Amino acid sequence: MKPFVLDTGSGQLTGLRGGAPDGVRVLALHGWLDNAASFVPLAAHLHGIDLAALDLPGHGASAHLPPGAEYSLAGTVHAVLDAADALAWDRFAVLGHSMGAAIGSILAAAAPERVTCFVAIEALGALADADDHTAARLRDAVAARRALAGKRLRVFPDIGTAVRARMQANALSEPVARLLVERGLVEVDGGYSWSTDPRLTISTAVRMTEGQVRDLLAHIECPVRVIYADPPQSYLPESLRRERAALLPRGELVVIDGGHHLHMEDPVAVAAAIGGFFLQV
């Protein structure tokens, strides 16, 4: 996959692109604090597609949002559409992992005229919260945001130390962690630091309720293939993820053994689960 840069209304967005130039257009959206390299292992096993993996705003080499701006899933939908416009892609498929799958869910519901089909890996819809937790969440987010200015970013003496930190934080193998880390670091005095916007590390100020998430899923018109790892993540138990998938008008659910980054750790199995889905639409 080769790097690309897009100048958009959402700022400069970067990414990695590869595959068949005349293939089905697929826009790939990575997970929280990951970057476009998330899709490098899987890309080698997908055929007949033109795969453009974005660094979402504030991630990888993409621009951070301006001071005072807030990161949100719904807001990122506009950045994704801006990227598609810059690529001159009127219609395209979406491949999302984790947070990227949550963003893809909102995108598919909000702009059905743009999305031909959607593969969601390890998420479907956004993480929800209860009505009676709204004030507490907002207070925590405001306090964290106000305190952010006084925090110092961690500096790693070398890339290997950063790789080991990421392996421990996300239970990743060394090759997978290295892919993400090498694209997610910037050189600073004394070593290396994360390129990710620190604002992305604080609590989300406002989350949808479960009812709102379900309404969005019920209004996704395009075909959707949902791929989950077994065992499930604690924040998305088996019962909930099956209930959400059942709301899709044209949805399919596939469950395979693996961890949260299964598309990187076991790309052959995930590619098999995707199969010819992108090519059938």
Q: Name the residue among 146, 169, 144 with its Cα closest to residue 156.
A: 169
Does the annotation mark 10 as catalytic? no
The rounded distance, in Å, linking the Cα atoms of 192 and 162 is 8
Q: Which two tokens stand for residue 177?
A: 């962690």
- The 3 state secondary structure assigned to the chain is CEEEEEEECCEEEEEEEEECCCCEEEEEECCCCCCHHHHHHHHCCCCCEEEEEECCCCCCCCCCCCCCCCCCHHHHHHHHHHHHHHCCCCCEEEEEECHHHHHHHHHHHHCCCCEEEEEEECCCCCCCCCHHHHHHHHHHHHHHHHHHHHCCCCCECCHHHHHHHHHHHHCCCHHHHHHHHHHCEEEECCEEEECCCHHHHCCCCCCCCHHHHHHHHHCCCCCEEEEEEECCCCCCCHHHHHHHHHCCCCEEEEEEECCCCHHHHCHHHHHHHHCCHHHHC
Residue tagged active-site, from 98, 105, 193, 195: 98
Strands of the 251-257 sheet, one edge to the other: 2-8, 11-19, 49-54, 24-29, 92-97, 115-121, 224-230, 251-257
User: Catalytic residues, which ones?
Assistant: 98
